[in-house]
Structure 1
């Protein structure tokens, strides 16, 4: 059996987005991805990275979702790195805020946003997901989620012994202190690396985004953080997870429960 690496090198692309412009955003992100060192294992993009947080998905061509997935597969193969991010996706006459985790060989796993953001009316135009996603990549068990999911700790509760929790987001500046606090809390309570990938800049609705993309370790210590346009790099260490959990066996005392819906 081939031993997995004990480290996972990650890159978070914190960037402004072109409003409802999938081609423009793909071109922009392709240039940024090209600058990422080859040793990076996982590249993380924001929520709805091809459009911004639009509540008018009918403005986006139905074929754009599949085109973006093919683009992600091509870049993942070129970089030999996994890519993850969410997009407007049309399927079966419905719209989804769907996250794609694309492996270097082109395989994909998907997650539909469970908690659609009712304050903005996301629940009225996007179909909510019902299934949590746990996947394995390079020896790490990863749980990817989307933005508003961050406010719901029961949904993210680590009952699967996963190692990494990822939130891709369009989280606005007025509530960014909640983003900072909850990202750190999810790391501490679940004894995982908690990663937040947010956008920056103004969107066409005049909402401002201040970034604060970050990585927190299993004790809630900040590994990396930024409030400007840049690519953030962080190396996740499996030994850190195992050592902390063996020393502080908090997960052994977690509550047992079953989600009903």
Structure 2
């Protein structure tokens, strides 16, 4: 299975969902002509307007899911729709939705690891389910930003056979080196493709790094963005993940008796 994957990195308008939806739709309209799978950044509708998330959050994700179904079907593209703030009862979750090109929602994943350095734990609730899903029969996983600092969490998904990791983020510029190093490491140690979409621009408290990345199972960077808006696109052959796992049988050699 070969896919052309495109990460849509853009400057998120702080606390302005309508403006961000317009921008995302413009990117999707253009890039759907060139790619099979599109990936959006973390909290792309609101940005990190955390103090107002309770008011800005999508009630039960209904509007987000409706938009996702229609958009994916209209443009005939698989859409890893980044993440959005979703209110469920008294809780707000940082939620990733994935839809296939027929408009069917394949997965909902709520960010498991909250980043206290940016006060996420004060305004968001942590999820408790995994990010595993399939597209076109390909085993995949969706993760959000801080999740990549937890290799055990990533391995939980690749141990189930995930060949592609899709990651959405709002990763700050001062830790750009960590972003790149962690993503390359996750690709190498899990022998999988990584497609990681970060945002650009800034908000009142942070400047974001951009540098969305698509990485192969050997850790080679296939495509990398800069600090400006744009699409970061590469073709991947998912079978390469299986081939690498056969060449260096990491998963076969795991010591489950020790760890």
Equivalent position to 1:52, from 47, 57, 64: 47
* Superposed displacement of residue 250, structure 1: 1.8
Q: What is the alpha-carbon distance in structure 1 between the residues aligned to residue 25 and residue 65 of structure 2?
A: 13
Cα–Cα, structure 1 residues 223 and 173, in superposed 2: closer, same or farther, change >3 Å?
A: same
**TM-score under structure 2 length normalisation:** 0.92
Indicate the residue corresponding to 2:170 in structure 1: 170
User: Does residue 1:86 correspond to 2:83, yes or no?
Assistant: yes
Structure 1's unaligned 5+ residue stretches are 1-5
Cα–Cα, structure 1 residues 218 and 257, in superposed 2: closer, same or farther, change >3 Å?
A: farther
Q: What is the alpha-carbon distance in structure 2 between the residues aligned to residue 206 and residue 121 of structure 1?
A: 12
Indicate the residue corresponding to 2:209 in structure 1: 210
The alignment partner of 1:115 has SS state of coil
Equivalent position to 2:97, from 85, 97, 100: 100
* Greater alpha carbon shift after TM alignment, 180-189 vs 89-98: 89-98
1:141-170 Cα distance to aligned partner (Å, 9 max, x none):
111000010111001112112101121000
**TM-score under structure 1 length normalisation:** 0.92
Q: CA RMSD in A?
A: 1.8
Structure 2's unaligned 5+ residue stretches are none
User: Does residue 1:17 correspond to 2:16, yes or no?
Assistant: no
Indicate the residue corresponding to 1:67 in structure 2: 63
Equivalent position to 1:149, from 147, 160, 163: 147
Cα–Cα, structure 1 residues 255 and 122, in superposed 2: closer, same or farther, change >3 Å?
A: farther
Q: Conserved in 2, the CA contact under 8 Å of 1:183 and 1:195?
A: no
* Superposed displacement of residue 59, structure 1: 3.6
The alignment partner of 2:20 has SS state of helix
Q: Conserved in 2, the CA contact under 8 Å of 1:168 and 1:196?
A: yes
1:86-112 Cα distance to aligned partner (Å, 9 max, x none):
001011221000010112222221000
* Superposed displacement of residue 39, structure 1: 5.2
Cα–Cα, structure 1 residues 125 and 222, in superposed 2: closer, same or farther, change >3 Å?
A: same
* Superposed displacement of residue 233, structure 1: 1.0
